C-alpha cells in the first residue's frame, strides 16, 4: 500500500497587514498518496499557490496541520526547515530564472544544488538527470543559448538533483508553446511512472485534462476533484485528441469532514436562489437541493390542480 505523502487537515492561512486581513486558505483538507501525479487548479486568488508554498516550506500555516513525507511542518525549527527544503521537496517555477544561473552551463546548474559529495558522483548524477529530461546534448550550453522550453527542462533536472520525495511545479508550462508544454508533461509522466510523487499547479486546460487526479480549490477550500476516465488512462500521449474539448474526466464534489459541500456558483445561479436557505430532500436514493420557492410553487400548482379536479366532478 502506498504511504501518505501530503496530509493537510483544516489548513488555514491568514495574511495580515496594518489595515487588512486576507483569508487565503479556509480549512483546506487534502491527502496525496506516494507516487501520485496530481494537478491543482483554481482561479487567481483561490489559494492554490499559497498551498503550494506551504508544502514547499516557503510559508507557514496559521492553523490546522500539514505533514509531508511524515514530517510535521508546524513543529519544524528553522534548521530542520532548511534540510526539508533541500532533501524532501524539489521546486519547478513558472519563471525558470528562479532555478537557473545564467553564467553556468546546464551541467553546472544541475550539479550546484546537490548534497555534498565527490565531484565525480555529482557530475555522474547530473548527466543522468539531463538524459532523463532529454537535455544531455546541451550539457555545456549556457542559459542564453537555450530556448524557454529547454531552460524549463533544465529546471526540472535541478529540482530532482537531491532526489526529493516530492516534486512541486508552479505553472511549469505557463511560458512555453503547446508543443513544448506537451513535451514537459511527458517528462513529468515518465518521472511519475518511475515512482516520483508530483504536484502541479496549472491554468493549462489541456494539461489538466491529461492528469489522473485534478483537485479544484475555490475560496481557500477543496471544492471538487476530477479523475481521469479509464478509457483515457492509456491515451495521454496521443496527439490526435483535442484535450481542451474532450470530456476526459469524471467530476466529483468534495464533502468535508463536517458533511459540507460547496455548490458551484453557476448551479446556484441557475436555481434562482434568493437568500442563503435551500431545501434538501432524499428522492429515490438521491439528495435533491432546491430553492424554498420551488417547493412553495409546486404546492400551489398541486392545490390548483386538485381544486380544478374537484370542480370538474359531477
Q: Are 185 and 295 members of one domain?
A: no
H/E stretch holding 192 reads helix 178-193
- Can you give the pTM of this predicted structure? 0.83
pLDDT of residue 227: 92
Q: Are 220 and 189 in contact (CB under 8 A)?
A: no
Measure the CA–CA gap between 106 and 111, rounded to whole angstroms: 9
CA-closest candidate to residue 184, choices 225, 147, 212, 231: 147
The answer to whether position 99 is within a domain reads: no
pLDDT of residue 192: 92
Q: Are 105 and 141 in contact (CB under 8 A)?
A: yes
Measure the CA–CA gap between 201 and 214, rounded to whole angstroms: 10
Count: domains in the chain = 2
CA-closest candidate to residue 29, choices 12, 15, 14: 12
The answer to whether position 131 is within a domain reads: no
pLDDT of residue 43: 84
Measure the CA–CA gap between 185 and 281, rounded to whole angstroms: 44
DSSP state string for 142-162: BGGGS-HHHHHHHHHHHHTTT
Q: Are 205 and 174 members of one domain?
A: yes
Measure the CA–CA gap between 164 and 98, rounded to whole angstroms: 18
The answer to whether position 84 is within a domain reads: yes
Q: Are 215 and 250 members of one domain?
A: yes
pLDDT of residue 314: 45
Measure the CA–CA gap between 35 and 3, rounded to whole angstroms: 9
- Name the domain boundary from 262, 288, 303: 262
Per-residue DSSP letter, 264: P
pLDDT of residue 4: 92
pLDDT of residue 118: 73
Give me the domain span that covers residue 280: 268-312
pLDDT of residue 309: 55
**Residue 58, domain CATH:** 3.40.50.300
Q: Are 241 and 286 members of one domain?
A: no
Q: Are 245 and 168 members of one domain?
A: yes
Q: Are 247 and 272 members of one domain?
A: no
The answer to whether position 247 is within a domain reads: yes
Q: Are 246 and 282 members of one domain?
A: no
pLDDT of residue 46: 86
Q: What is the mean pLDDT for each group of 10 consecutive residues in the chain (314 residues)? A: 88 85 88 95 87 90 91 90 90 78 92 78 92 92 90 92 92 84 89 93 88 91 89 81 86 82 78 80 87 60 54 48
Q: Are 237 and 276 members of one domain?
A: no
- Name the domain boundary from 221, 239, 262: 262
Amino acid at each position: 500500500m502506498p504511504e501518505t505523502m501530503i496530509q493537510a487537515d483544516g489548513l488555514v492561512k491568514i495574511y495580515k497587514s496594518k489595515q487588512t486581513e486576507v483569508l487565503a486558505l479556509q480549512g483546506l483538507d487534502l491527502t496525496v498518496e506516494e507516487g501520485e501525479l496530481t494537478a491543482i487548479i483554481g482561479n487567481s486568488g483561490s489559494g492554490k499557490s499559497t498551498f503550494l508554498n506551504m508544502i514547499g516550506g516557503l510559508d507557514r500555516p496559521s492553523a490546522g496541520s500539514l505533514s509531508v513525507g511524515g514530517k510535521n511542518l508546524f513543529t519544524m525549527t528553522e534548521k530542520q526547515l532548511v534540510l526539508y527544503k533541500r532533501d524532501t521537496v524539489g521546486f519547478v517555477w513558472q519563471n525558470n530564472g528562479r532555478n537557473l544561473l545564467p553564467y553556468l552551463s546546464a551541467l553546472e546548474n544541475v550539479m550546484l544544488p546537490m548534497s555534498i559529495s565527490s565531484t565525480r558522483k555529482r557530475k555522474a548524477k547530473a548527466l543522468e538527470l539531463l538524459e532523463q529530461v532529454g537535455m544531455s546534448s546541451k550539457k555545456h550550453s549556457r542559459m542564453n543559448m537555450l530556448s524557454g522550453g529547454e531552460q524549463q527542462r533544465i529546471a526540472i533536472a535541478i529540482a530532482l538533483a537531491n532526489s526529493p520525495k516530492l516534486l512541486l511545479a508552479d505553472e511549469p508550462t505557463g511560458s512555453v508553446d503547446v508543443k513544448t508544454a506537451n513535451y514537459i508533461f511527458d517528462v513529468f509522466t515518465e518521472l511519475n511512472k518511475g515512482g516520483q510523487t508530483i504536484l502541479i499547479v496549472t491554468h493549462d486546460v489541456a494539461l489538466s485534462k491529461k492528469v489522473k487526479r485534478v483537485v479544484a480549490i475555490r475560496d481557500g477550500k477543496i471544492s471538487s476533484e476530477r479523475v481521469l476516465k479509464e478509457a483515457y488512462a492509456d491515451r495521454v500521449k496521443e496527439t490526435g485528441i483535442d484535450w481542451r474539448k474532450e470530456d476526459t474526466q469524471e467530476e466529483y464534489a468534495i464533502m468535508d469532514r463536517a458533511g459540507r459541500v460547496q455548490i458551484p456558483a453557476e448551479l446556484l445561479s441557475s436555481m434562482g436562489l434568493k437568500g442563503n436557505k435551500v431545501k434538501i430532500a432524499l428522492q429515490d436514493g438521491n439528495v435533491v437541493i432546491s430553492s424554498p420557492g420551488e417547493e412553495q410553487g409546486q404546492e400551489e400548482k398541486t392545490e390548483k390542480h386538485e381544486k380544478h379536479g374537484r370542480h370538474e366532478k359531477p
